Structure formats: structure tokens, C-alpha cells
Amino acid sequence: MSVHLADVPLWAAILAAAFLVLGAGLTLLGTVGLVRLPTFYQRIHAPTLGTSWGAGGMVMASMIIFTAASGRLVLHEILIGIFVTVTTPVTLMMLGRSALYRDRSEKNPDVPLSVKSDETNDDPAQGAS
């Protein structure tokens, strides 16, 4: 399927352009954070800007343009949005856990060797507080 951009009405074009600029700008901001933040555990937060509103804005712009240009509802881009939203927490949690495991196994002083609730879980005095 192929559409012509000139068929898009002006209001839809301006709306889609705003979403495009928002999405691409937020993705760029996220990667700037990826480069500039000092530690890995801070850096892992930065690219999620791109996976939440970055991808969301681009997908929204694509849906608006294809819907307005073809004259019928085109929603298949939302698949990408759903997929990215579902998979990003899974990947980043696995990556964070493996980074924590590596830092702990090398006894890195910046990372606590265990969380306090892990070792005092069966202590009734701690559990009551």
C-alpha cells in the first residue's frame, strides 16, 4: 500500500509533525543521557525515554498520517508501540540483574553486597518494623 503525503489535511499534518518532533527529540535526549550519565545504574534509565514517548510519538505520527492519507483507519503501527512497551522492562531488568551480579561477584565497593531485607527476612523483630 502506498499513499501520497499531499492528500493529508493540514491539521493532521501539523499534529503528526508535532508528534514526530516530540518522538525524535525525546529519543535524542535519552541517548544524550546514555552518553553523559556517570554510572551504569543511572545510564540504564536514560534510553527508556526513547522506548516510552520516543517510540510512542513516532508511532502516533505514522498512524495519523496513514489514516488521514488513505481515508480509512490504519492502526497496525500500534503493534510496534505495544511490543516496545512490553519488552523494554523485561530486557532492562535482565540487564540490570546481570550487571548487579557481575558487580557483586567482583566485590565492587560501589554496590552493596546484599540488600538488607534479603538477610533479615526471617527475623521477626525486623519484619515487624
What grid cell was written down for 109? 565497593
Q: CB-wise, 21 or 115, nearer to other proteins?
A: 21
Q: CB-wise, 11 or 118, nearer to other proteins?
A: 11
Q: Does 47 bind other proteins (CB under 8 A)?
A: yes
Q: 8 near 17, Cβ under 8 Å?
A: no
Degrees to nearest 5, angle at CA 41 with 36 and 46: 50
The CB-of-42 to other proteins minimum distance in angstroms stands at 11
Give the footprint of other proteins on residues 61-120 (CB under 8 A). Answer: 61-62, 65-66, 69, 74, 76-77, 79-80, 83-84, 87, 90-92, 94-95, 97-99, 101-102
d(CA 61, CA 63): 5
The CB-of-6 to other proteins minimum distance in angstroms stands at 5
Quote the longest CA-to-CA distance of the chain. Answer: 71
